[in-house]
A and B are shown apart, each in its own frame.
Chain A
Amino acid sequence: MRMRILAPPTWRISIDLNKWARKLNIPLAGPQPINVAIIVGNGIPDDIVWLILGHKFNGRHVIGITKPQEMLGVNSISSIPMLVKGEKIKDLIIAIDQETSILEGIWENVERIFQERRITYKVVEEDGKLRIFDCTYASYKFRTLIVINGLDKPYSKHTIEDHLLEFYREISGENLNIILSNSDQDPKKAWRKLKDKEEYVYHQLIETSTDKLEQIFT
């Protein structure tokens, strides 16, 4: 998959994706038609992880990527109607951080927002932190895959950084206990402390097999 940025070029997500696409030598897509879009509910570094995953899986397919303004996490679902109204998007992927919520609470929130936005839905597949819904908004039919980031590890909250920290722990052999304890077990804070390792980790992800990537991010 190659990413086509849908957000305004001055937004952080667009700048960030462009920067990392250049650094990681991953081509971004031009104005090709798309029928799949990813909404990253929590912005950075979810966008970079999706850039890498997209590059590793099915490199030719073009997918739109964006992050709604002022609609963080599970609330990013509210932007669905605007994306599907043009009748072109048939599949949506929404990635959100678990944070400190319990999974059941998040799924309840997802369904509440679907109802508030008048999106009718039916769960067609569920597997812990992943659910696939068949949805209808007005006359538009589409499929929505929602994936919740975070691992069942003793972090104070659960985000995409859980996966990145565990991957770094594995490839470097470094014990992250001190960094984590200095970060109140917060994976975002801990990941920020590893800023000088960020590029190395992303390069290592690119080198990793797709089977292994599936393990890391599920």
Chain B
Amino acid sequence: MRLELENFKGVKKGSINIENLNILIGGNNSGKTTILESLFIAPNPLRDVFREPAISILKSLHSTLESEAYTFIFHNYTGKLARISCSNGFKLEIKFQRIGDDIEVYMIENNDAYFVGTLRAWRSEERGFLGLAQVTEDGSLKRRGQYIESVSVGSFISKMIGETIYFHPLLVRKMWEYFNYHWIEFRNLGLLSKIAGRISEGVAGDYDDLLLEPFIDGRRTILMRTKDGRGIRLGDMGSGVQTLITLMLLYEFIKPKMLLIDDIESHMNPSLLIHVTSWFGGVLKDGAKLVISTHSLEAAKFIAGSLEDYAPKITLITLRNGILNSKNLTVEEVEELEKAGIDVRMSESILL
């Protein structure tokens, strides 16, 4: 699938090929997170994810001090139109049109244009039923004033992409809140003991269940139960284990078509990385796509090498003057470059 971005966040223009498994590497500020975020909102920026609109989740990640404006969507904060486009024979386009302080959100899937909702630049969002839209003579989109009353925006997802889930370490607490609301479903689907067992295979500790129980202050918490019956609060476990449990629960419950993970190796000891890579094999086997970012070449080579059946690509990314460039490399190519003394993370300016 080809992903194209225009005036979206730090990217003025650029594109990247999304395969079954892309491992994004590149310098800081090279656009890796922007790619993940664009894929996260592509199925519908205003759909409900973790009980709030997807775009609102990105807003919370970008908020700085008290500022929570949606203008982060536009390149240089000044653009009038931001565009995310995905094509694989079919075509999906997301357009953010700025009109005064409002940002109108449209989706065009193949030839059907929809009005999705309005973002108030300063913080809130308005959405209801999916609306119809039309392309005007100047190429911009306009509401037609008609709504599809059987389809609420919160539940509408592009058929072409399907659901995508974005995992960022700063979203973990939001995800736990989401688990809290859905706990009975996790329990009755048998996910909790299954995931506790899987975690035991990858870390020191023998766990058999996950529980939602009162803690010392009488308030609810998520506990990992050891086989000898003790409970350990999830927030008291190592960061790598928290990441893995959260990621597994989310994936197994939502079963997205695409899993997007920022900085996969952060907080992970290599032995846990081995474990999570084997789990990725199951995700790919389910038919989901994986897009992962990392700063660790060791992690990139390990994941790509272990999952070679899925034709993984190590994707080198650069962003210069707002122009996003990318190059897909195989593990063998990365290793050949390394033998020549070229670390792809340090040498993007001679490779791209």
Contact = CB atoms under 8 A, between A and B. Distances in A.
A88 B346 contact: no
Contacts of A4: 346
B307 interface: no
A83 B349 contact: no
Contacts of A9: 343, 346
Interface in B322-350: 336-343, 346-350
B27 interface: yes
Contacts of A67: 341
B191 interface: no
Interface string A1-23: 00011111101010000000000
Interface string B194-218: 0000000000000000000000000
B350 A89 contact: yes
A99 to B, nearest CB: 20
Contacts of A7: 341-343, 346
Interface string A78-99: 1100110110110000000000
B157 interface: no
A32 interface: yes
Contacts, number: 68
A8 B338 contact: yes
Nearest to B26: A31
Given A8-B297, A31-B27, A79 B339 contact: yes
Contacts of B339: 68-71, 79, 82
B351 interface: yes
B352 interface: yes
Closest 10 CB pairs between A and B?
A66-B341, A79-B340, A82-B340, A8-B343, A86-B351, A68-B341, A88-B350, A33-B349, A6-B347, A86-B350
Interface of A: 4-9, 11, 13, 31-34, 37, 39, 64, 66-71, 78-79, 82-83, 85-86, 88-89
Given A7-B343, A82-B342, 12 more contacts: A6-B346, A7-B346, A32-B349, A66-B340, A68-B340, A69-B339, A78-B340, A79-B340, A79-B341, A83-B350, A86-B351, A88-B349
